[in-house]
Every structure is written in structure tokens, then in C-alpha cells.
């Protein structure tokens, strides 16, 4: 089955800096790559997703890039703010009856 | 927030006892999932359902069973709880199979002593 690896496991940045979280996946048939944000004590929530026919997608301060050849995708957060502090999960899916496989998570801390 | 509720939200039980967690949704979504969340492991899929009486195993299904007799309810049962099943359990729903947004419940924290 699919295997998703996520790095780093923890990331600390100063407010206003950029943060990058990287994921690799194993199944070349995967075609859907979402990112979820989980604030402390809360449920995970989708923040952005990308499909395999697109190389990059942006939504305000966040962007995701996908390199299908190398089988990796990344989350970029610019101008970080304290409210960006959370655990971020990447995931991958081939669709159909193959459910999403999540990475192990990255704890991002934005220092004011 | 999507209409999805989990019960109980917190439970402490002893090794060897049966436990059932309930996920109830009011969105009429066809697809439902149970995940467990443990430090360093992210979210791991236990079981999922593609409709009433249509369920399948995920990557960590050993020791768990599920049932879905109605669209709105998805039950997760630990037949004989073990300490390794101490975790936070999340139910999720979606209107598309595996390529659509997952809406998560608030989670159920289970402690097995």
C-alpha cells in the first residue's frame, strides 16, 4: 500500500518567516494530495489540496507544490503568524477504494 | 462545522472489556472512516465504510470491528480492549471516496488501563 513520509517532525520559526514541510509518497498512482491542520486539542481540518494534474496551488499565504516524477510534495507557508502554530499532516490517495494515507505530522511553532 | 458527533468523548476502561465508539452524522455523506491518532504516527486508518453494510479494513484493523446499519451511524468496537488501543479516535465523513475533503469529528479519547 501507499507509504507517506513527512519531514521535519518539528519546526520552529520566527513570526514573519517562511515554513516548508515536505512529504514523499511511494505509490506512483496517487493522484490526490491534501494537507490538514490540527490545532491543539482540535480536530484536523483541510487547508489546501492538490491533484496530480497541477504542479502548484496557492491560497493566500499557503501554497503546495507537487513533483510527480520525484514523488514528493511540499507545503509552503509565508509570513508566518502565531496562529499558524499547529500540527500539519500531509496525505496521499489513489482514489477509488484506497483511502487516504497520512504522514506522521509536523508540529510547527511560530515564535512571536 | 459539518454535522458529525462522536460519543463518548472520553472513556477510561480496563483491559479485556468491550468498548464501542459511535459516530453520528447529519450530512447524509456516504463515506465514513475511523482513524486513530498516536504521537509519531499521525492518523492511521482503522476501518472505513462506503455505505450501509459496506465496510472494509484499513491499515491497523486488528482488534477492531465496525458496523454501519444506517447511513448516519458508524460504530467502532473493540471486542477486548488492550493497553495498545489507548489512543484518540477520530471519525471522518466525506461525500467523495478518498479524493474529497474529510470532515472530522471532535475525537474520542480512550484510555485502557
pLDDT in tens, B23-64: 999 999 999 999 999 988 899 999 999 999 999 999 999 999
Q: Each residue of B28-37: pLDDT tens digit?
A: 999 999 999 9
Q: Each residue of A24-33: pLDDT tens digit?
A: 999 999 999 9
Reduce the secondary structure of chain B to three states and give it as a string. CCCEEEECCEEEECCCCCEEEEEEECCCCCEEEEEEEECCCEEEEEEEEEECCEEEECCCCCCEEEEEEECCEEEEEECCCCHHHCEEEEEEEECCCCCCCCEECCCEEEEEC
Chain A contact set for B50 (CB, 8 A): 97
Give the best residue of B5, B102, B105, B106 to mutate against chain A (max A CB count within 10 A).
B102
Q: Each residue of A2-40: pLDDT tens digit?
A: 899 999 999 999 999 999 999 999 999 999 999 999 999
Give the best residue of B9, B34, B40, B43 to mutate against chain A (max A CB count within 10 A).
B43
Size of interface A-B (CB pairs under 8 A): 58
A→B contacts (Cβ < 8 Å), by residue, are 1, 6, 9, 31-32, 34, 36, 42-46, 49, 51, 89, 93-105
Q: Rounded CA gap, A26 and A49, in Å?
A: 18
Residue B13 pLDDT > 80: yes
Looking at residue B1, its pLDDT comes to 62
Give the best residue of B31, B54, B98 to mutate against chain A (max A CB count within 10 A).
B98
Q: What is the mean pLDDT of residues B66-83?
A: 97
Q: Each residue of A55-94: pLDDT tens digit?
A: 999 999 999 999 999 999 999 999 999 999 999 999 999 8
Judged by a CB distance cut-off of 8 A, whether residue B63 touches chain A is no
How many angstroms separate the CA of residue A80 from the nearest CA in chain B? 23
Looking at residue A95, its pLDDT comes to 77
Amino acid at each position: 500500500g501507499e507509504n507517506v513520509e513527512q519531514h521535519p517532525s518539528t519546526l520552529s520559526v520566527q513570526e514573519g518567516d517562511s515554513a516548508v514541510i515536505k512529504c514523499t509518497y511511494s505509490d506512483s498512482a496517487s493522484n490526490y494530495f491534501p494537507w490538514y491542520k490540527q490545532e491543539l486539542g482540535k480536530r484536523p481540518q483541510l487547508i489546501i489540496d492538490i491533484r496530480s494534474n497541477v504542479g502548484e496551488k496557492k491560497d493566500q499565504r499557503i501554497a503546495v507544490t507537487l513533483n510527480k516524477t520525484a514523488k514528493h510534495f511540499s507545503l509552503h507557508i509565508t509570513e508566518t503568524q502565531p496562529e499558524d502554530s499547529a500540527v500539519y499532516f500531509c496525505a496521499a490517495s489513489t482514489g477509488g477504494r484506497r483511502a487516504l494515507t497520512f504522514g506522521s505530522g509536523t508540529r510547527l511553532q511560530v515564535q512571536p | 462545522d459539518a454535522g458529525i458527533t462522536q460519543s463518548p468523548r472520553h472513556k477510561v476502561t480496563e483491559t479485556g472489556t468491550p468498548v464501542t465508539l459511535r459516530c453520528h452524522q447529519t450530512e447524509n455523506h456516504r463515506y465514513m472512516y475511523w482513524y486513530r491518532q498516536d504521537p509519531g504516527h499521525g492518523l492511521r486508518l482503522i476501518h472505513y465504510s462506503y455505505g450501509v453494510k459496506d465496510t472494509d479494513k484499513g491499515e491497523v484493523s486488528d482488534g477492531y470491528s465496525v458496523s454501519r446499519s444506517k447511513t448516519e451511524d458508524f460504530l467502532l468496537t473493540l471486542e477486548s480492549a488492550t493497553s495498545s488501543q489507548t489512543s484518540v479516535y477520530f471519525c471522518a465523513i466525506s461525500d467523495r471516496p478518498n479524493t474529497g475533503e474529510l470532515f472530522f469529528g471532535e475525537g474520542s479519547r480512550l484510555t485502557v488501563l
